[in-house]
Homo-oligomer: A and B are copies of this chain.
Amino acid sequence: MSAPSPSDTPTPRTRPGGRTARNREQVLDAVRAELTENGYDALTVDTVAARAGVHRTTVYRRWRDVGGLIADLFAAARDIDWQPRDTGTLRGDLAALNHEIQDSLTEESSIAMALIAVSFRSEEAARALRRLWEDRYAQSEIVVDRAIQRGELPAETDARALLIAATAPLYHHVVLLRTTFDPELPDRAAASAALAAQSGAFTPQATAAL
């Protein structure tokens, strides 16, 4: 699963347990499999129910339609108790983030890529993806706080701007430019962003009007 990126294994914080929870896991697993194998266009409540081995009326009752299934997939991803790694250095922490992002986007049958593709088809999915990313970036700000506390960064560093600068090249290369897989990109982007941040590139002074 991944850093500021849609993620895959739903482990809800509050797990009611029992058949309802099991049904949800089976249904969401089936949605993921259908999305990555056959795409959004082929997604129907009936194929999901059949694949999950759950009665279709149960699926209709709880999720209503494809939009409801997709929304719950994002909700499950948001419920994951994700935290960025603590490697002891800003550069190491950013590299760890970037490796998680690259792995999630380039793995076979990437659910992250599938969810991004769906966000171009459904306004509801786009909103859900936006909320998920907002969570992940907010959770990642601790990486910058720690670096400031260690004296690695100016105290007035804009955490979000630094995190975007460190991670955006990954998304740009993999999702949009679709360049060849580059195993060194996560480290290189992290190193550049860390050095830039240490030079004060994400402080109000650096970006003040000319």
Contacts and interface: CB of A to CB of B under 8 A. Distances in A.
Interface of A: 91-92, 116-117, 119-120, 126, 129-130, 133-134, 161, 164-165, 167-169, 171-173, 175-179, 184, 187-189, 191-193, 195-196, 198-202, 206-207, 209-210
A192 B188 contact: no
B206 A200 contact: no
Given A130-B178, A133-B177, A192 B206 contact: yes
5 contacts: A165-B193, A168-B168, A168-B172, A184-B207, A188-B207
A178 B91 contact: no
A172 B171 contact: yes
Contacts of A130: 177-179
A76 to B, nearest CB: 20
Give the interface SS of chain A, mostly helix, strand, loop or mixed. Answer: helix
A202 B206 contact: no
Contacts of A210: 91-92
A153 to B, nearest CB: 13
B187 A209 contact: yes
A172 B178 contact: no
Nearest to A198: B199
A199 B207 contact: no
Contacts of A117: 120
Given A187-B207, A196-B195, A199-B199, A176 B178 contact: no
Nearest to A127: B178
Contacts of A164: 169, 172-173
Contact of A192 (B126, B178, B184, B207): B207
Contacts of A165: 165, 168-169, 189, 192-193, 196
Contacts of A173: 164
Contact of A201 (B119, B199, B209): B199
